[in-house]
Amino acid sequence: MAEPVPPAEPAATPRPASASARGGEGGLSAPTRHPLAWRDAAFYDETALHQELERVYDICHGCRRCVSLCQAFPTLFDLVDNSATLEVDGIAKSDYGKVVEQCYLCDLCYQTKCPYVPPHAWNVDFPHLMLRAKAVEFRKGEVPASRQRLTRTTAFGKLASIPVITEAANAVNRSPALRKLAGKLLDVHPDAHLPEFHSNTARRRVGKLLQPGVSPQAAGATRGRVALFVTCYGNYNMPQAVEDLVVVLRHNGIEVKLVERESCCGMPKLELGDLQAVDRYKQDNLPVLAQAVSDGWDLMTPIPSCVLMFRQEIPLMYPEDAQVQTVKRAIFDPFEYLMLRHKAGLLKTQFTTALGRVAYHAPCHQRVQNIGPKTKELLAMIPGTELEFIERCSGHNGTYGIRRETYELSMKIARPVSARAQKFAPDFVSSDCPMAADHIAHGMKDLKNAPAHPISLLRRAYGI
Ligand code: SF4
Ligand code: SF4
């Protein structure tokens, strides 16, 4: 293996002759994450980016631990193995983007595999290097318009939730011929599963459930008062699960309100490398969310990717922003919150309905939050419930599971997960990420029930 090329940009650290000293492999220091220097001109310098890609690709080539995580690493190792030199220096720079294209920023390599993350002197942050490469591509105008359209989740949802358009959108979804046509506009594979749209949105439905009548009680890190960030997907595509979340929270003595207004969390735009759009969404959301925290509310969203956005990605983009830090500290995953309440004896555990066999998938964007398998722990408390716990990538990963170029690969990634769920013969397939649950179910036959969000299963178990 050739010596890796030292990085040119200031944020990166050259690979030292020996990494066994302070900051070396096997060191006991906790992993840290450097802020993302996305506002510096150097971030978009293509020569510096290529040098850093070459440096990190070379470390990965010598390591290869992540080969089974996603398609990005096999793509890199195939490029190396088919090059003239059998080293990273034999890969054409114009092929670097093939690796970037396969990364959907799940963060698993950073959080679960890589021994070279900071404070290690080799300073490998593979997901954020991929993000930087995506941002450079986006700035150069290399991201097709069809992909950009696909990530306009708020605008899409708003349009598709107008009653007559809801019907039309769902009809297009069900018609193979119309799907083919729409697929060209949006870069969607004709066989990909697309969610239904609902004109009776979650924000409309939940408004009726929020009458007074709950006396909140603080416990530990929770204040017993939750301001809900419904999310685009929750609002337009899974309003029932959001309603179920509100009913479960209130059943457990937690006061709930909706945040005053909300835009997309920004994750779909982050995955595209459109950091200016992430910034616009951040400007919309953060003052409202920070105000809710100042007014005495905890924050919650039902989609793990959106929690991760406020907990990790936005704080790394704006490390100096007080509102961002306030929101980061106050936002919770629903099952994390309920299990914190359980610790204080404040969770109701009288269940009336057995769930039977549940194939439960823990999504990557929840796993990398390092909160532990709280959903699994809570579902396991329900009598008459047998869980098949699946901790493996579902292959959906934002738009990766529906785009024409990546759909087949995403189904390949999903295949072992769907097969494992199928073998278990579940009554329910479930994941905290509703898109992951749908994608897994899409690869299965003979489902007994439609995929269900774990919070909907919890409501069912309560019999409320
Ligand atoms: S962040 Fe996820 S998709 Fe990207 S390279 Fe790492 S494991 Fe693969
Ligand atoms: S990201 Fe880290 S663990 Fe994964 S292949 Fe690269 S160096 Fe190895």
Residue 286 has pLDDT above 50, yes or no: yes
Closest C-alpha among 343, 345, 332 to residue 455: 332
Side-chain-side CA neighbours of 281 within 13 Å: the count stands at 27
- Give distance in angstroms: CA of 70 to centre of ligand 1: 6
pLDDT value at residue 1: 39
Task: Give the atom of ligand 2 at the shortest distance from the alpha carbon of 64.
Answer: 5
pLDDT value at residue 162: 57
Q: What percent of the chain has pLDDT over 90?
A: 67
Please name the residue whose Cα sits nearest to atom 7 of ligand 2: 60
Out of 69, 308, 364, mutate this one to test ligand 1's pocket (max ligand atoms within 8 Å of CB): namely 69
- pLDDT tens string 6-27: 333 333 333 343 444 335 555 6
The architecture (CATH level 2) of 202-341 comes to: Up-down Bundle (1.20)
Task: Pick the ligand that lies closest to the CA of residue 410.
Answer: 1
Q: What is the DSSP letter of 192?
A: S
- Give distance in angstroms: CA of 67 to centre of ligand 1: 10
410 confidence band (pLDDT: 50, 70, 90):
confident
Closest C-alpha among 265, 374, 358 to residue 314: 265
Task: Pick the ligand that lies closest to the CA of residue 80.
Answer: 2
Sheet with 298-300, side-by-side order of all strands: 255-258, 225-228, 298-300, 331-332
- Cα distance between residue 280 and residue 111, in whole Å: 28
Average of per-residue pLDDT across 346-369: 96
- Give distance in angstroms: CA of 69 to centre of ligand 1: 7
- pLDDT tens string 97-146: 999 999 999 999 999 999 999 999 999 999 999 999 999 999 999 887 76
- Give distance in angstroms: CA of 105 to centre of ligand 1: 5
Task: Give the atom of ligand 2 at the shortest distance from the alpha carbon of 67.
Answer: 5
Task: Give the atom of ligand 1 at the shortest distance from the alpha carbon of 364.
Answer: 2
Out of 103, 117, 366, 406, mutate this one to test ligand 1's pocket (max ligand atoms within 8 Å of CB): namely 103
- What are the structural domain ranges in the chain? 1-142, 146-186, 202-341, 348-462
- Cα distance between residue 23 and residue 123, in whole Å: 9
Closest C-alpha among 444, 301, 244 to residue 361: 444
Structure tokens at 237: 């595509």
- Give distance in angstroms: CA of 116 to centre of ligand 2: 7
388 confidence band (pLDDT: 50, 70, 90):
very high
pLDDT value at residue 30: 75
- Provide the whole-model pTM: 0.87
- Cα distance between residue 414 and residue 66, in whole Å: 17
Q: Which residues pair with 255 in a beta bridge?
A: 225
- pLDDT tens string 289-330: 999 999 999 999 999 999 999 999 999 999 999 999 999 999
Ligand 1 residue neighbourhood (C-beta within 6 Å): 69-70, 72, 103-109, 126-127, 130
Check the CA dihedral 422-424-427-432 and report its sign.
Answer: negative
- Give the pairing type, strands 356-361 and 298-300: unpaired
Task: Give the atom of ligand 1 at the shortest distance from the alpha carbon of 102.
Answer: 3
* Average pLDDT score, the chain: 87
- Cα distance between residue 353 and residue 457, in whole Å: 10
Ligand 2 residue neighbourhood (C-beta within 6 Å): 59-60, 63-66, 73, 109, 113-114, 116, 124, 126
Task: Give the atom of ligand 1 at the shortest distance from the alpha carbon of 127.
Answer: 1
Q: Which residues pair with 222 in a beta bridge?
A: 219
Q: What percent of the chain has pLDDT over 70?
A: 85
pLDDT value at residue 106: 92
Average of per-residue pLDDT across 188-217: 81
Q: What is the DSSP letter of 16?
A: P
The reply to whether CATH 3.90.1690 applies to domain 348-462 is no
pLDDT value at residue 188: 78
Please name the residue whose Cα sits nearest to atom 3 of ligand 2: 114
Give Cα 84 distance to the centre of its chain.
Answer: 37
- Give distance in angstroms: CA of 110 to centre of ligand 2: 8
pLDDT value at residue 159: 56
- pLDDT tens string 152-185: 666 655 555 555 556 655 666 666 666 666 666 6
Task: Give the atom of ligand 2 at the shortest distance from the alpha carbon of 110.
Answer: 1
Average of per-residue pLDDT across 329-335: 98
